[in-house]
Structure 1
């Protein structure tokens, strides 16, 4: 447990620093929004290509990754359907619970994997991200269409958002680079390496800058249910699924880490655009990020 805490303290310290800098309006208006865009579009794709491109992953592992990710997503989706049958929340409220329990923060995922599991763990989690993000996006859009009443499902913009997602592009290119063992010329490595080093700390600080702690006032049952499902139930469910599939080792550690993460900050944008409960979503994002400082070491210490 001390090793886990020691590895995760830098992650959450950077998040807190970002929150404080934003609250103090440093370095100025508009900086953090542009920093988030810069990290997302400029820094993270080269980092993923560089880290994944150097990894040597057994091709047989890809089948195990796909089976585990699909099982994780299906199991949590079924649980969320049961939860809605019990609570019967309005569609807008349930959409926030759904996203809060299923999605994950990619920045925290990559930073935590790198610090806890090294470059191999970071490479594996990047592959999982490339598989899981499209599945979750499709499920989320479908859920909004069915329950929030925003008209028929429009798969074309969803597909476009997925194929142009910088994290997915970086992961796919990195897997290609690794599979064919292309390698990096020293000049190219000299460019990608410093970009890789800059990506995670700046990404984590932008997560903190986006926190809206005022949204936590009057935390309600949907917040508690989404947070319990995401931070406690999902990791336990994933550990059980891995055991049932006969999987172990680093892949299982990566999967449990992914499910123990707080939900994605992009959930707020989707809730606002598609008619969800955006204030509730903001509260879930901020609350889970704070709660994860306690729950992540506990769950990883228990299940790893």
Structure 2
């Protein structure tokens, strides 16, 4: 337990630092929104490309990892839709619960995998991102369409944004460079790797800045349902699948880590743009991020990390 705490503790401290800077409004203006765009469109894609382009993906149990992670995600997506009437939520609130239950914070996930297992953990995490990001985006956009919270014009914009998603494009680019044997030749490898190194610490601070403590006052049925799935049921299902599939220790830990991650801060922007319940989304992001500081170490300890 101590080794897990030692690995994840510094990550949580960076998130709390971001929370403090956000409360103090330092730096002021639109600094953080612009930094978040830089991380999302440049730094994090650079990290994914640098990792995937040179990784020995053949050592990763890709199919079994996909079954564990995507199987858990599809299971709870289906269960949520089957139970959405019983939850008694309005359409906008349901889309936020759906995002809160399925989305995951990639910054925390990749940083945690690197802290736990070094380069091997980062490689498996990059593969996990390549597998999960396309599916979770399709599922969440589909939830807005099915709930009827967006019109035809917004639907077109959402699908176009999905095709331009920088994380998806970065994963495709990294895998392409790997499979073709091109890699990142010459100075390009070192340059892209340097860019990528900045993504995780800055991303974690940005996660903290995005927290909204006042949103924690909202504790309705939607909050309980999303938090129960994201922080308890999803990790249980993925851990069980990982053990049944015989994943190696690194892949098992990364799969469990990604299953137990708090929801993504970008979900708030999507909720605002596509007609979701933004206030509920803020409550889920803030609550899950703070709760995960306790639940993530517990899950990884349970898995024997």
Pair in the same fold by TM > 0.5: yes
Displacement of 1:245 after TM fit?
3.7
The CA distance in 2 between the partners of 1:217 and 1:244, in whole Å, is: 40
Deviations 1:163-198, CA, capped at 9 Å, x for gaps: 321112222222223334434444223312321221
Aligned residues: 304
Deviations 1:220-251, CA, capped at 9 Å, x for gaps: 22112211210111000111223344444322
Deviations 1:23-51, CA, capped at 9 Å, x for gaps: 22222211111111111112111111112
Gaps of at least 5 residues in structure 1 are none
The CA distance in 2 between the partners of 1:189 and 1:248, in whole Å, is: 29
The CA distance in 2 between the partners of 1:3 and 1:274, in whole Å, is: 41
1:122 aligned partner:
122
Contact map agreement 2:110 2:126 (CA 8 A) in 1:
yes
Q: How does 1:1-304 map to 2 (within 5 A)?
A: 1-58=1-58, 61-151=61-151, 156-304=156-304
Displacement of 1:101 after TM fit?
0.7
Q: TM-score, normalised by structure 2?
A: 0.92
The CA distance in 1 between the partners of 2:153 and 2:302, in whole Å, is: 40
Displacement of 1:158 after TM fit?
3.6
Contact map agreement 1:148 1:276 (CA 8 A) in 2:
no
Displacement of 1:134 after TM fit?
1.7
Deviations 1:124-180, CA, capped at 9 Å, x for gaps: 222221221221122112212222443469764344223321112222222223334
Contact map agreement 1:145 1:152 (CA 8 A) in 2:
no
The CA distance in 2 between the partners of 1:231 and 1:38, in whole Å, is: 29
Contact map agreement 1:212 1:282 (CA 8 A) in 2:
yes
The CA distance in 1 between the partners of 2:146 and 2:185, in whole Å, is: 50
Gaps of at least 5 residues in structure 2 are none
The CA distance in 1 between the partners of 2:50 and 2:246, in whole Å, is: 31
CA RMSD of aligned residues (A): 2.1
Greater shift, 112-121 or 170-179, is seen at 170-179
The CA distance in 1 between the partners of 2:132 and 2:30, in whole Å, is: 31
Secondary structure of the corresponding residue to residue 232 of structure 1: helix
The CA distance in 1 between the partners of 2:190 and 2:146, in whole Å, is: 49
Displacement of 1:215 after TM fit?
1.0
Contact map agreement 1:18 1:209 (CA 8 A) in 2:
yes
Q: TM-score, normalised by structure 1?
A: 0.92
Greater shift, 30-39 or 58-67, is seen at 58-67
Change (3 A) 1:222 1:11: same
The CA distance in 2 between the partners of 1:228 and 1:296, in whole Å, is: 14
The CA distance in 2 between the partners of 1:93 and 1:127, in whole Å, is: 31
Greater shift, 131-140 or 51-60, is seen at 51-60
Change (3 A) 1:213 1:181: same
